[in-house]
Amino acid sequence: MRIVIALGGNALLRRGEAMTAEAQRGNVRAACEQIARVVEGNELVIAHGNGPQVGLLALQSAAYTDVSPYPLDVLGAQTEGMIGYVIEQELGNLLPFEQPFATLLTQVEVDAEDPAFQSPTKPIGPVYSREEAERLASEKGWSIRPDGDKFRRVVPSPEPKHIFEIRPVKWLLEQGTIVICAGGGGIPTVHDESGRLVGVEAVIDKDLCSALLAQQLDADLLVIATDVDAVYLDWGQPTQRAIATASPDMMDEFEFAAGSMGPKVEAACRFARHAGKTAVIGSLEDIGAIVAGEDAGTRISTSIREIGYRQGN
């Protein structure tokens, strides 16, 4: 079975943790322990978030005032290499020596006229107090938005249109390689007026890019791993309940938070609709059960005829 696993930000850095290399490696190690359970007999592609990491690199770049700060596409490429390296190493330590790995820098085409460029929404970097966020916005020209009781920088998040390295990913999979790619939603690029491919100042949503990746790879399963065990209705309320199974049309009847579960649900529904396959949103700890087809996560497929809820949640 060909599987795309999209690791949420919690797989790299948990809220409130210091952005140290040690903390991130520890989280990656825990994620890899779960992924290692589903390697045998499957073709595996791993995508991941990079919001905190690219934000930290942006701050570090801005601190060196002798040159202009590096653009987000360059910083995104740096995080793909950095995070891919750690995933390769930690997963490699759990698997036979003969298992090959490859991390691919992944350029993703977006539309230069995408309306997202006029309305930044994608959070990157650490959280700040209101006072600190407003100061940074004034000094650096950032757009900021609330994130819980804190604030974060937000940047444009255009739609992914095409993954340029899709053929090398397929070639590597055919040779039994575990591929890490499309990190942070890929490196956002456009064709300029002369037809040259250039990077743009944006961050593509990781889950939407993972859905496109899974579709273009003709994957059998898309797993969106996050820090909750399913998609919930009435989250945080006495009436909350977990969705066990649903079709994309059924999920369209509900609204989910744009900054958290919304993109994951949209990505899962896109893959299910366009590929005619199954997407599952669930916890990192349940990856093995999800791949085995057990009752775990929220399973979305066009073949589902009635919405199902999980008891005991």
Q: Which of 12, 35, 15 is nearest to 85 (CA)?
A: 12
The letter for the amino acid at 98 is: E
Task: Answer for the pair 175, 100: CB distance below 8 angstroms, yes or no.
Answer: yes
Catalytic residue among 10, 51, 184, 186: 10
Over 116-182, what HEC string results?
Answer: HHHCCCEEEEEEECHHHHHHHHHHHCCEEEEECCEEEEEECCCCCCEECCHHHHHHHHHCCCEEECC
Q: Alpha helices, DSSP H only, in the chain?
A: 21-35, 51-63, 72-92, 130-140, 166-174, 206-216, 248-251, 261-275, 287-291
The reply to whether 176 belongs to the active site is: no
Of 49, 122, 184, 297, which one is the catalytic site residue?
A: 122
Structure tokens at 156: 């444009």
Whether residue 277 lies in the annotated active site: no
Among 9, 51, 76, 84, which one carries the catalytic annotation?
9
Strand, helix or coil at 245?
strand
Q: Which of 49, 206, 277, 282 is catalytic?
A: 206
Which one of the listed residues 264, 277, 282, 297 is annotated catalytic?
264
Other beta carbons less than 10 A from residue 129's beta carbon:
11
Q: What is d(CA 181, CA 102) in angstroms, rounded to the nearest whole number?
A: 8
**10 carries an active-site annotation:** yes
- Burial 220-233, CB ≥16 within 10 A → b, else e: bbbbbbbebbbbbe
**Which of the residues are catalytic?**
9-10, 122, 206, 264
